[in-house]
Amino acid sequence: MLSTIGKTNQKYIPATSKGQPFLKWAGGKTQLLHELLPRVPQKYNTYYEPFIGGGALFFAISPKKAVIADINDDLVNAYIVVRDFPEQLIELLAEYVNDKEFFYKIREQDTNNLQSIEQAARLIYLNRTCFNGLYRVNKSGQFNVPFAGYKNPNITQVERILADSNLLQETQIYNVGFDKVLDRAKKGDFIYLDPPYYPKSVYSDFKRYNKEQFHKDDHIRLAELYNKLTERGCKVMLSNSDTPFTCDLYKRWHVDKVYAKRLINRDVSKRGEVTEIIVTNYDY
């Protein structure tokens, strides 16, 4: 768990309350928004997203009251810092340069020795300047994506970070596994579940977001939780890969097959359109 960070007074709050992802994230749902948004219920109380990643749907909806979580502590720290210290974060990012030597110096930093704001700046900086904006770590949790050498990456993202900070003011943010945060979901709440996808084949689907992997047992646990949340009266939407296993897990509910563009696949010939499933337990 992350330590609690106190809030600062924001000097400037932008007029807009809509946010946008401040990180590119593997498995991010920007390409699938045209399928997801029409399925979001018209009315609900609190929005829950326990596998937040880059938060494509969360920002597209920009809900007033939300609970978001992820097991990746580096990522969750960045959300908390964007919410509570946007100006200090932007000031620090403004000092960072798009240079190979500087990139590897930042990449080598041990996050255990960094303050929260430095840790968030490091993640955002690496995400803007590394190859494909990927988040990938090795077995010991060390970020290992190389420098991309892009011409003019937007490292500071001033407007976006300020808008996101404004949106996140009413958002609870947790660094926990999915089951912990859903304990408190109630009747009338809307939950979007976007776990690491069940692999279509041994080499497909990039899923190393963390040192720990999301296994078959975790998918089964998640499907059991989906059923419990339904009994509790929550509206739940879930996305996953289209496989016999995942279709079978959710066969009691509406399972729609949709096309999505996916760029992350070891086999270049398989980068392109693949089918995915969107499961809902309500009519829309």
Ligand X SMILES: C[S@@+](CC[C@H](N)C(=O)[O-])C[C@H]1O[C@@H](n2cnc3c(N)ncnc32)[C@H](O)[C@@H]1O
- Site membership for ligand X, residue 214 (CB under 6 A): yes
Per-residue burial over 78-108, b if 16 or more Cβ lie within 10 Å, else e, is: bbbbbbbbbbbbbebbeebebeeeebeebbe
Q: Are 280 and 253 in contact (CB under 8 A)?
A: yes
Is residue 239 within 8 Å of residue 226, measured between CB atoms?
no
We find the least distance from the C-beta atom of residue 59 to ligand X, in angstroms, to be 9
Burial 120-133 (b: 16+ CB within 10 A, else e): bbbbbbbbbbbeeb
Q: Does 71 bind ligand X (CB under 6 A)?
A: yes
Please say which residue, 1 or 15, places its beta carbon nearer to ligand X. 1
Return the range that interacts with ligand X (CB under 6 A); candidates 106-114, 148-156, 164-172, 189-197: 189-197
Cβ proximity to ligand X: between 84 and 194 the closer is: 194
From the CB of 209, what's the least distance to ligand X, in Å? 4
Judged by CB under 6 A, the residue of 19, 53, 63, 133 near ligand X is 53
Query: 56 or 279: whose CB is closer to ligand X?
Result: 56
Letters for 148-187 (x = contact with ligand X by CB under 6 A, - = none) are -----------------------------xx---------
What is the C-alpha to C-alpha distance for residues 97 and 13, in angstroms, rounded to an integer? 26
Residue 72 touches ligand X, criterion: CB under 6 A: yes
In this structure, which amino acid lies at residue 8?
A: T
Q: Report in angstroms how near the CB of residue 90 gets to ligand X at its nearest.
A: 22
User: 192: phi > 0 → left, psi -120 to 50 → alpha, else beta; which?
Assistant: beta
Tell me the three state secondary structure of residue 256: strand
Q: Is there binding between residue 84 and ligand X (CB under 6 A)?
A: no
In contact, 83 and 173? CB cutoff 8 Å: yes
Closest CA to 276 of 250, 241, 248, 235: 241
Nearer to ligand X, 23 or 92 (CB): 23
Q: Which of residues 19, 50, 63, 86 is near ligand X by CB under 6 A? A: 50
Q: In angstroms, what is the minimal distance from the CB of 220 to ligand X?
A: 13
> Residue 226 contacts by C-beta under 8 Å, 6 or more apart in sequence?
193, 236, 238, 250, 253, 279, 281
Nearest to ligand X of 21, 92 (CB atom): 21
Q: Is 56 in the site for ligand X (CB under 6 A)?
A: yes
In the block, residue with structure tokens 């300047």? 129
Site string for ligand X, 13-32 (x = CB under 6 A): ------------x-xxx---
Kindly list the residues in this chain that would bind ligand X in the complex (CB under 6 A): 25, 27-29, 50-51, 53-56, 70-72, 177-178, 194-196, 209-210, 214
